[in-house]
Structure 1
Amino acid sequence: MIHLDRELEQLKKSTTAMWVLVQSQIEKAYKALAANDKDLAREVIANEKRVNSMELKIDSDCEDLFALYSPVASDLRTVLATLKINTNLERIGDLAEGICKHILSEEKAFDKELLKASEIQEMYDVVIEIMKDVLKAYIKEDTKLARTIFKKDEILNEINMQATKNITEYIGSDISKIEAGLNFLSIIRKLERVGDQITNIAEEIIFSHEAKVLKHL
């Protein structure tokens, strides 16, 4: 079983490396949005190939662990949780790419008034905070820290709901703002979905170490 322990440790390192890359993608997507940096947006889109490649490698490693070691108990839960975490991380990468595509679709920078009305800075701050917290929980196997994410995700949901109202009012004030407003609303929704994916990861960390299934609760 010593070999299995080594393989599980390597799997954890690979997943952590993918996590760091995906978090960087989200950070760059926001910087591109705030600065209307289209070159940075293109960089995020190009990097999505790396995210996809890492996802496929981790999936393959998990399959090899099943085939070679037939893990049981906590080891089995670790591999199963890693498969799901891997999928969630890839989806976060997709969302970062989607945000950047919206940035590129706009000829001009998004209106500063729109950025303020949507509270996107506050939303971004929460997203990065919970990504860092869940990564720490994953590395340290800290289920208590993982549980703190659920409350913070509610903050994202509240901002998303208020942003929808504020952007609707923004669009209503000037019909020429419709396209930009709808594009920006899509960005807000993608950030909110990042929170959902991180929450899913927190649930998998708890499942892995406590054998408790929180899905649908």
Structure 2
Amino acid sequence: MTPLETEITALKKELVSMWMLVQSQMNKAKEALITFDKDLAREVLIKEKRVNSFELKIDRDCENIFALYCPVAVDLRFLLAALKINTNLERIGDIAAGIALYVVEAKENFDAKKLESTQLLRMYDESVNILIDTRMAFEKEDTALARSIFKRDDVLDEINEKAPVAIAELIRADLNSLPEALYILSIIRKLERVGDQAKNIAEEIIFYVEAKILKHQESGKRKLEGEE
């Protein structure tokens, strides 16, 4: 194995470790939400610093590899993708911390029936599963699995689009539930962004494995279909 290959292998392991940490943050934030465990929510907020440290270290490692080895072809594509994946993972970490902060701030525990009726829990499970599958696609360089993320994100988008109606129904049924309903809506909005970050990651996986750039292609296609 060449020195460059050794560095890239180490960088890939770092990214996977960060992925696992972000995944853990998402899971703990969900558990804190369901059980109204403020201590667990605070743990998520504290560990957000570790996510940020990971991001900074991976950025520095990428810069060092660029400077020392001047990579080309697939190695160059991997490093460019790694930088963007790193940013997307950090943003998902921010989302987990934001959800945990809602748990800390809330005065009363979240009603399980409301979480179910708004499909928040279903959305949460799917967003975590998408995060897991993007990691698997990254580790295995599986572009078919990466492409499956685009379709699965539609589920998150659909729940997000229906959320205002579901939230309005909760508020009409009980005006006292207004603060809780707004928290739920905000969490749904955050989970929708997890799907967006996962799609970005999937695009980067396809870019470095296949040398294909997918960014903006989907939106462009929809515009053309709309014009027809």
Place the TM-score, normalised by the shorter chain, in its bin. Answer: over 0.9
Matched, 1:210 2:210: yes
Query: What's 2:83 paired with?
Result: 83
Equivalent AA in structure 1 for residue 53 of structure 2: S
What are the superposed Cα offsets for residues 106-162 of structure 1, whole Å, 9 maximum, x if unpaired?
111012231121111211221121111111110010111100011100011111122
Equivalent AA in structure 1 for residue 138 of structure 2: Y
Q: Percent identity?
A: 57
Contact kept? 1:102, 1:183, Cα under 8 Å: yes
Query: What's 2:226 paired with?
Result: none
Query: What's 1:149 paired with?
Result: 149
**How far, CA to CA, are the matches of 1:112 and 1:148 in structure 2?**
30
Query: What's 1:173 paired with?
Result: 173
Query: What's 1:59 paired with?
Result: 59
Contact kept? 1:29, 1:41, Cα under 8 Å: yes
**How far, CA to CA, are the matches of 1:127 and 1:161 in structure 2?**
15
Deviates more, 1:190-199 or 1:85-94: 190-199
Equivalent AA in structure 1 for residue 109 of structure 2: A
Query: What's 1:14 paired with?
Result: 14
Report the alpha carbon displacement of residue 171 of structure 1 after superposing the two structures with TM: 1.3
Query: What's 1:198 paired with?
Result: 198
Matched, 1:93 2:93: yes
Query: What's 1:140 paired with?
Result: 140
Query: What's 2:69 paired with?
Result: 69
**How far, CA to CA, are the matches of 2:92 and 2:64 in structure 1?**
25
What are the superposed Cα offsets for residues 49-83 of structure 1, whole Å, 9 maximum, x if unpaired?
00000000000000001110111111110000000
Alignment of 1:112-151 (within 5 A): 112-151=112-151
Contact kept? 1:32, 1:40, Cα under 8 Å: yes
Contact kept? 1:117, 1:163, Cα under 8 Å: no
What are the superposed Cα offsets for residues 14-46 of structure 1, whole Å, 9 maximum, x if unpaired?
000000000000001101001111111000000
Q: What TM-score does the superposition give when structure 1 sets the normalisation length? A: 0.97
Two-structure CA RMSD over aligned residues (Å): 1.1
**How far, CA to CA, are the matches of 1:112 and 1:183 in structure 2?**
14
Q: What TM-score does the superposition give when structure 2 sets the normalisation length? A: 0.93
Deviates more, 1:132-141 or 1:155-164: 155-164
**How far, CA to CA, are the matches of 2:190 and 2:142 in structure 1?**
27
Count of residue correspondences: 217
**How far, CA to CA, are the matches of 1:174 and 1:38 in structure 2?**
25
Q: Runs in 1 of length 4+ with deviation above 6 angstroms?
A: none
Report the alpha carbon displacement of residue 174 of structure 1 after superposing the two structures with TM: 2.5
Alignment gaps of 5+ in structure 2: 218-228
**How far, CA to CA, are the matches of 2:84 and 2:129 in structure 1?**
21
**How far, CA to CA, are the matches of 1:165 and 1:193 in structure 2?**
19
**How far, CA to CA, are the matches of 2:30 and 2:103 in structure 1?**
10
